[in-house]
Structure 1
Amino acid sequence: MAAWLQLLSLLGLLPGGAAAAAPPAPAWAPPAPELLEPARFALRMYNRGRAPGTWATLGAVRGRVRRAGLGSLYSLEATLQEPPCNDPTVCQLPLSKKTLLCSFEVLDELGKHMLLRRDCGPVDTKIEENTNETLNMVLPLANQHPLPKDFTDKMASIFKNFATTYNRTYATKEESNWRMSVFTNNMIRAQKIQSLDRGTAKYGVTKFSDLTEEEFRTIYLNPLLREDSGRKLRRAKMPNDPAPPDWDWRPKGAVTKVKDQGMCGSCWAFSVVGNVEGQWYLNQGSLLSLSEQELLDCDKVDKACMGGMPSNAYEAIRTLGGLETEEDYSYRGHMQACSYSVDKARVYINDSLELSQNERKLASWLSKNGPISVAINAFGMQFYRHGIAHPLRPLCSPWLIDHAVLLVGYGNRSSNPFWAIKNSWGTDWGEQGYYYLHRGSGACGVNMMATSAVVD
């Protein structure tokens, strides 16, 4: 066994690796009554998409509440009991019955709940599994629990190369040491994700490797997508014809260059704008790079860098009267005053549609009608380098969608069917800015929120 894998095995991060001694489940006082309703809401979201016989049940609850304007933010800790599970491909936990310890953040605005964060892990293991069904490795950081010297020397060299490649500088020596600890922890997480992927994807060092999972999620992802609270769209009439064996709109001229949303959760705007760019090209004959910043500034339903819903964005474009070009209304990566001018609008849309969740029909629609706005669970994408990602379904739940992207094509690589996905994290991420995800299994919820504008 390679030294890298031996270390992972010692840390209990490989299947069959060493397990930690089980700490006792917490014993808490009865919860304050006001915590019960948000805790029950968090439980419902945790159980979403699961058959009734497989639901977890709520145990002890504790937490605090913070008031802000018309809303309340609940920070909760709760124990959940998972029922027995004998199928390792769908089990939430590695053994038949476990107690989970979960952290939830629930926002209550005018009586409507929204789950902003949830992290759950078995009470009796050092491996804490995020209920984004990701593997959130709560491992000892290098500056707290020293690791073998040859390993730390190797990581120091890799971290130095990372900092040079991505032009990272840190204000103090303490911050640099902390970021190296985060980086080391992330490399172990990436190796665990690699070991469980069923596709050809490779995970490792990326430009996000010095960010904690919480930082990455807060800065680059979109928690509003999990609630699916956008405007309801008219259902599209899907084609019955079989899809061609492969298709790619990039060489056909319907896709603009990969863009970069920066440190802003504006993926929803990039996904929708990419779709509108393709629809305009296919129906009006010209490919224009359009303005995402216009949506950040002028869509008053969505929340700019705090996230948004594609269905709302289509309506904002229609209500405003169109989109300006990127050149006329350039991207700034933060919300500013709306400066949209109807005189400068170059593109309009007439309507928007919700597409089928059947992936064969999605492929057929894409080949006939252009790129599709979709939303996915971004599990593993922080460390994705190249190849076709195919996470186990419990690790990349379709019910925990948090990132909007653009389907531009599909095909097969060595008998591995894939969706070709345009992302908005720049060309220095993934395969020149693109992500490839397994097609045909509903991987990471890619089929759950497919939409398109209509241009007549």
Structure 2
Amino acid sequence: EFLARPKSKEAAKLDGPAFVDYINKQQSFFKAEYSPGAEEFVRRRIMDARFAEDPEMKEPKDLLTNSGLKIDLPERFDAREKWPNCTSMKFIRDQSGCGSCWAVSTVSVMSDRACALSNGRINRILSDTEVLSCCTGNCGFGCYGGWVDRSFRYAWRHGISTGGGYREKVQRSIIYTEEYIEQRNNLHPGNETVIMYEIMTRGPVATTYMVYRDFNYYKGGVYIHTEGEMIGTHAVKIIGWGKENDVPYWLVANSWNTDWGENGYFRILRGENHCNIEKAALYPIPIV
């Protein structure tokens, strides 16, 4: 019912603290908190609408659903708890004032999955700076944005170096094959169950969702878009799920440092393709 309600013309006229107060009065799912620089902070870190979906990406293949597997999923799951020794699982990155989320989120997912699928043997923080700087042209546009799936293709062609200082020779740590690239988007659009199973068995997935004005002021709780126009898109990684007050949610790692949101994380409505978060979910399969 909340999702189906019409948007308010009154809210469109509100600004600053008045807009935040209105958001908090309209719902109790998440808390919005006013900060004078919040809108500019978010604007510098998100991408424009053209990066919501890649027009060149092939149609996803829902291999899991077609396999006939019976899936038993828990009500709550957190990848950090299943793979506690994987450093990258608990590492919140900071993309700073740059729309590099497309590179940051995908490399973060690659780091996580390499560790998970190698049983901790490959436990490294891979370099998002390499993807941001080198995955250019038809791949991405640096701080102006890029495509998640094209980042995966870059990894297949070139590998990804580890992060940290670059005075020493970098080390290639993960290999991706053409088979992996063809399977990079095996999630059926909007298929909540397949996304959950994939996270639980092989690690976090990347996604790109639509950002609305009220998200500028997110402080905590389960985000459900309430009021405000779309202002861009943002790429993140989903690390788990749960339920709060009967509201199902995705647990998402952001890349705006640990002093944002819920210690660097946020939760968003699950199962409704809210803000396109499920339709755009993708994952890499590292050969480890």
Q: What TM-score comes out, normalization by structure 2 length? A: 0.82
For structure 1, list consecutive stretches of 5 or more residues without a partner in the other structure.
Answer: 1-86, 95-124, 129-136, 140-184, 330-338
Structure 1 position 347 matched with structure 2 position 174: yes
* 1:250 paired residue number: 80
* 1:274 paired residue number: 108
Structure 1 position 443 matched with structure 2 position 280: no
* 2:133 paired residue number: 297
**Corresponding residue to 2:161 among 324, 343, 348:** 324
Q: Deviations over 1:389-408 (max 9, x none)?
A: 1225x8687xx860111000
Structure 1 position 204 matched with structure 2 position 40: no
> SS at the partner of 2:162?
coil
**Corresponding residue to 1:381 among 204, 207, 215:** 215
Separation in 2 of the partners of 1:186 and 1:247? 36
Query: Contact (CA 8 Å) 2:52, 2:233: kept in 1 or not?
Result: yes
AA aligned opposite 1:347: I
**Corresponding residue to 2:24 among 189, 194, 198:** 194
Query: Contact (CA 8 Å) 1:232, 1:311: kept in 2 or not?
Result: no
Separation in 2 of the partners of 1:422 and 1:230? 27
AA aligned opposite 2:254: N
Return closer, same or farther for 1:453/1:126 CA change in 2, 3 Å cut-off: same
AA aligned opposite 1:232: K
> SS at the partner of 1:451?
coil
Structure 1 position 226 matched with structure 2 position 56: no
Return closer, same or farther for 1:377/1:200 CA change in 2, 3 Å cut-off: same
Query: Offset at 1:375?
Result: 1.2
Query: Contact (CA 8 Å) 1:324, 1:340: kept in 2 or not?
Result: no
Separation in 2 of the partners of 1:304 and 1:390? 29
Spell out the pairing of 1:376-455 with structure 2 (5 A cutoff). 376-379=209-212, 380-392=214-226, 402-455=233-286
Query: Offset at 1:225?
Result: 1.9
Return closer, same or farther for 1:415/1:349 CA change in 2, 3 Å cut-off: same
Query: Offset at 1:384?
Result: 0.8
Query: Offset at 1:363?
Result: 1.1
Return closer, same or farther for 1:382/1:453 CA change in 2, 3 Å cut-off: same
Return closer, same or farther for 1:423/1:369 CA change in 2, 3 Å cut-off: same
Return closer, same or farther for 1:423/1:340 CA change in 2, 3 Å cut-off: farther
Query: Contact (CA 8 Å) 1:228, 1:309: kept in 2 or not?
Result: yes
* 2:203 paired residue number: 370
Spell out the pairing of 1:117-156 with structure 2 (5 A cutoff). 127-128=11-12, 137=13, 139=14
* 1:160 paired residue number: none
For structure 2, list consecutive stretches of 5 or more residues without a partner in the other structure.
Answer: none
Query: Offset at 1:88?
Result: 8.8
Q: Deviations over 1:89-108 (max 9, x none)?
A: 546655xxxxxxxxxxxxxx
Structure 1 position 260 matched with structure 2 position 94: yes
* 1:68 paired residue number: none
> SS at the partner of 2:153?
helix
Query: Contact (CA 8 Å) 2:30, 2:218: kept in 1 or not?
Result: yes
AA aligned opposite 1:323: I
Q: What TM-score comes out, normalization by structure 1 length? A: 0.53
Separation in 1 of the partners of 2:23 and 2:109? 31
The higher-RCO structure (CA 8 Å, 6+ apart) is 2
Tell me the C-alpha RMSD between the 2 structures.
2.8
> SS at the partner of 1:427?
coil
Q: Which has the larger radius of gyration?
A: 1
Q: How many residues align?
A: 267
Return closer, same or farther for 1:92/1:417 CA change in 2, 3 Å cut-off: closer
> SS at the partner of 1:378?
strand
* 1:27 paired residue number: none
